[in-house]
């Protein structure tokens, strides 16, 4: 007797669709350029006026953001970012067994409810502009930083939307603090952020995350998207470190200072993705 196929779970919600990847790329580029100019205190009055005019041609900044969310929904669906998260959690043996509690998860920049369709995840989904009642409207930077709160943090196409390199560094630091020891941080970025930036490479991003106490355990690349999974390391006092571990920690601190100075010199070129960590962000182990 032929077995019936089990129905696949569908996401509870997805924004109004955008069908063209070319259009999605155009909208994404316009959104980043406009918001970067308006958020940068160094922008001239002429640059701000030009950015506002460009936004008005799209119906205003809010309308442009709505279009950007539709573009992100298409990109996320096309590149299956949630599927990467599900598969890596399974590979790492982190999916709860029957009877165990679901993994407490923070989804930053949620544009659909794909993650909520997984019963082994207890998802708090947030975005700066929610388009669904299951997605909480709040800025990540306004969340109370409660240490060791989440088992999983999922951030797809969000870090690249943060307007400055310093704030991106702060976001990585806060993410590390929010994660429980052994927790997983899933980070997805446009590939051009690490492949076409004078300020960033994939290796540098991995080293910056390690300085925040996040060790890469899985990564994947496609022509358009970079996928990373980091593990939150257990906090250690420097007095507990071996001489080899202490040397590694000191080398990471020196790396942060050196790259911070180098990035300061390049900071005027905001077209290139960058991340800056302060001394206060260094985990020290």
Written as one string, the DSSP assignment of 231-255 is EEPPP--GGGS-HHHHHHHHHHHHH
Q: What is the pLDDT of residues 140-167, one digit of tens each?
A: 999 999 999 999 999 999 999 898 899 9
- pLDDT category of residue 211 using cuts at 50, 70 and 90: very high
Q: Judge contact between 232 and 209, C-beta under 8 A.
A: no
| pLDDT above 80 (res 116) | yes
Look at residue 15 in the predicted model and tell me its pLDDT: 43
Q: What is the pLDDT of residues 67-104, one digit of tens each?
A: 776 666 655 554 478 999 999 999 999 999 999 999 99
Look at residue 72 in the predicted model and tell me its pLDDT: 64
Where does residue 34 rank: exposed (0-12), middle (13-18), buried (19+ CB within 10 A)? buried
Q: What is the pLDDT of residues 22-54, one digit of tens each?
A: 776 677 777 767 877 777 767 788 888 888 888
| pLDDT above 90 (res 57) | no
- pLDDT category of residue 12 using cuts at 50, 70 and 90: very low
Look at residue 118 in the predicted model and tell me its pLDDT: 94
- pLDDT category of residue 8 using cuts at 50, 70 and 90: very low
The span from the CA of 108 to the CA of 214, in Å, is 17
Q: Which residues contact 3 (CB under 8 A, 6 or more apart)?
A: none
User: Can you tell me which residue has the tokens 């669904």?
Assistant: 132
Q: Which of 159, 196, 183 is nearest to 235 (CA)?
A: 183
Look at residue 21 in the predicted model and tell me its pLDDT: 64
Q: Judge contact between 126 and 138, C-beta under 8 A.
A: yes
Least confident of 119-128, 214-223, 260-269: 260-269
- pLDDT category of residue 18 using cuts at 50, 70 and 90: low
Question: Could you tell me the maximum CA-CA distance found in the chain, to the nearest angstrom?
Answer: 73
Look at residue 206 in the predicted model and tell me its pLDDT: 98
Q: Are strands 214-221 and 179-190 parallel, antiparallel or unpaired?
A: unpaired
Least confident of 39-53, 132-146, 222-236, 247-261: 39-53
| pLDDT above 70 (res 265) | no
Where does residue 130 rank: exposed (0-12), middle (13-18), buried (19+ CB within 10 A)? middle
Q: What is the pLDDT of residues 232-247, one digit of tens each?
A: 999 999 889 999 999 9
Q: 187 - beta bridge partners?
A: 155, 228
The span from the CA of 229 to the CA of 185, in Å, is 6
| pLDDT above 80 (res 267) | no
| pLDDT above 70 (res 2) | no
Each domain of the chain, given as residue ranges in start order, spans 21-77, 80-281
Distances (CA, A) of 11 to 83, 136, 186: 12, 17, 19
Fold of 80-281: Rossmann fold (3.40.50)
């Amino acid at each position: 007797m032929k077995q019936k196929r089990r129905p696949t779970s569908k996401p509870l919600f997805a924004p109004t669709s955008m069908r063209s990847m070319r259009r999605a790329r155009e909208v994404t580029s316009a959104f980043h350029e406009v918001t970067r100019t308006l958020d940068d205190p160094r922008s001239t009055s002429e640059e701000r006026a030009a950015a506002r005019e460009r936004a008005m041609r799209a119906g205003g900044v809010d309308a442009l953001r709505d279009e950007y969310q539709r573009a992100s929904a298409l990109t996320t669906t096309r590149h299956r970012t949630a599927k990467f998260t599900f598969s890596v959690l399974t590979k790492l043996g982190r999916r709860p067994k029957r009877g165990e509690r679901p993994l407490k998860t923070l989804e930053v920049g949620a544009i659909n409810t794909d993650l909520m369709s997984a019963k082994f995840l207890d998802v708090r989904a947030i975005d700066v502009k929610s388009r669904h009642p299951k997605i909480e409207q709040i800025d990540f930077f306004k969340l109370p930083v409660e240490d060791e709160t989440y088992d999983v943090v999922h951030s797809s196409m969000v870090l690249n939307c943060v307007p400055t390199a310093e704030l991106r560094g702060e976001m990585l630091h806060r993410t590390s603090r929010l994660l429980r020891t052994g927790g997983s941080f899933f980070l997805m970025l446009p590939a051009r952020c690490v492949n076409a930036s004078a300020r960033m490479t994939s290796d540098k991003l991995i080293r910056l995350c390690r300085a925040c106490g996040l060790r890469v355990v899985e990564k994947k690349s496609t022509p358009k998207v970079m996928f990373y999974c980091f593990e939150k390391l257990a906090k250690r006092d420097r007095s507990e470190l071996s001489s080899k571990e202490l040397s590694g920690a000191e080398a990471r601190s020196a790396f942060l200072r050196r790259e911070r100075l180098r990035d300061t010199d390049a900071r005027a070129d905001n077209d290139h993705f960058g991340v800056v960590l302060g001394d206060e962000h260094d985990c020290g182990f």
